[in-house]
C-alpha cells in the first residue's frame, strides 16, 4: 500500500520491449537505497515489483495487463516518473489509501496558472466519474490530490485539482502539458461503499 506522497522524481533509464511485456529500468537513488528483491515501488502510481537493483537504479517487469491499463507503455528513455516506496506500518500517513492499482488513464485538458498554484483539468470517463467527488481524494500519476471541482460539459465529465508549488516542482505534474496522459486511481473506499450498497452485490 502507498500514500500518494511522491518521494522522488526518477527517470526511465532503459526499456526492454517484449512481445506482450516490458522490463523498465528506473533511476531512483532514494527509493532504491533500501530496496530488496521483491520490494514494491510505485512508478507513476503503478505498483511494480523490484527484480534487480543497484545503488542507483532498479528494474521491474511490466506485464501486458499493466501496459494496457496504464500509461507506462507510452514512456520513453529519459522520461521523468514519480516514485514512492511502499508505506511502512510505523510511518506517517500523509496522503490517502493508494493501492497502486490503476483504474484507467486520462489526459490533461487545461492548465490555468494562479498566483502560486495551478489549476489542472482532466477528462473523466463515466465509469470512474461516480467515484470522484469535490473535496475527495484521487491519485494522478501516483500523486495524492484533493479534487477541487467536478463537472460535465457536453456530456463529457471532468475534474480539477489545484497544484501547490511543491507538487509542481517535485512531481511530473508540473511538467506535463495539455494532452499528456496520466494514470488515475480513484478512492478505493468509494468502490467498497458502492459494492456494499448495491443490492445483490454482497452475498
pLDDT, tens digit, 9 for 90 and up, residues 108-139: 999 999 888 999 999 999 999 999 999 999 99
Q: Over range 31-49, report the average pLDDT.
A: 96
pLDDT for the residue numbered 128: 95
pLDDT for the residue numbered 203: 58
103/80 Cα distance (integer angstroms): 21
**Range 104-196: architecture per CATH:** Beta Barrel (2.40)
51/4 Cα distance (integer angstroms): 22
Share of the chain above pLDDT 90, in %: 78
CATH topology of domain 8-85: Elongation Factor Tu (Ef-tu); domain 3 (2.40.30)
Q: Quick: pLDDT tens for 73-97.
A: 999 999 999 999 998 888 878 888 8
Report helix, strand or coil for 63: coil
Q: Over range 173-183, report the average pLDDT.
A: 95
Distance of alpha carbon 124 from the chain centroid: 15
Tell which wins on pLDDT, 32 or 97. Answer: 32
> Can you give the residue ranges of every domain in the chain?
8-85, 104-196
Q: Over range 184-197, report the average pLDDT.
A: 89
* C-alpha cell, 133: 467527488
Question: Is the distance from CB of 183 to CB of 71 less than 8 angstroms?
Answer: yes
Q: Tell me the pTM.
A: 0.92
Residue 135 region by backbone torsions, left for phi larger than 0, else alpha for psi between -120 and 50, else beta? left
pLDDT for the residue numbered 107: 96
Fold agreement between 8-85 and 104-196: yes
127/106 Cα distance (integer angstroms): 12
Beta 104-113 vs 143-153: how paired, if at all? unpaired
pLDDT for the residue numbered 133: 95
Which neighbouring-strand residues pair with 17?
22
pLDDT of 202 > 80? The answer is no
Amino acid at each position: 500500500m502507498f500514500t500518494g506522497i511522491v518521494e522522488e522524481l526518477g527517470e526511465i533509464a532503459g526499456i526492454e520491449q517484449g512481445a506482450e511485456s516490458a522490463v523498465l529500468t528506473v533511476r531512483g537513488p532514494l527509493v532504491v537505497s533500501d530496496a530488496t528483491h521483491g520490494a514494491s515501488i510505485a512508478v507513476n502510481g503503478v505498483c511494480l515489483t523490484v527484480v534487480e537493483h543497484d545503488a542507483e537504479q532498479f528494474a521491474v517487469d511490466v506485464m501486458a495487463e499493466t501496459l494496457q491499463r496504464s500509461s507506462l507503455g507510452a514512456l520513453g528513455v529519459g522520461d521523468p516518473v514519480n516514485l514512492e516506496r511502499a508505506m511502512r506500518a510505523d510511518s506517517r500517513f500523509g496522503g490517502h489509501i493508494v493501492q497502486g492499482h490503476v483504474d484507467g488513464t486520462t489526459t490533461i485538458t487545461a492548465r490555468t496558472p494562479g498566483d502560486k498554484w495551478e489549476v489542472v483539468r482532466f477528462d473523466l470517463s463515466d465509469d470512474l466519474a461516480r467515484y470522484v467527488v469535490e473535496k475527495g481524494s484521487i491519485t494522478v500519476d501516483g500523486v495524492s490530490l484533493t479534487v477541487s471541482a467536478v463537472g460535465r460539459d457536453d456530456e463529457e465529465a471532468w475534474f480539477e485539482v489545484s497544484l501547490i508549488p511543491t507538487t509542481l516542482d517535485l512531481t511530473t505534474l508540473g511538467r506535463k502539458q495539455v494532452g499528456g496522459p496520466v494514470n488515475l486511481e480513484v478512492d478505493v473506499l468509494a468502490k467498497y461503499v458502492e459494492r456494499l450498497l448495491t443490492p445483490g452485490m454482497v452475498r
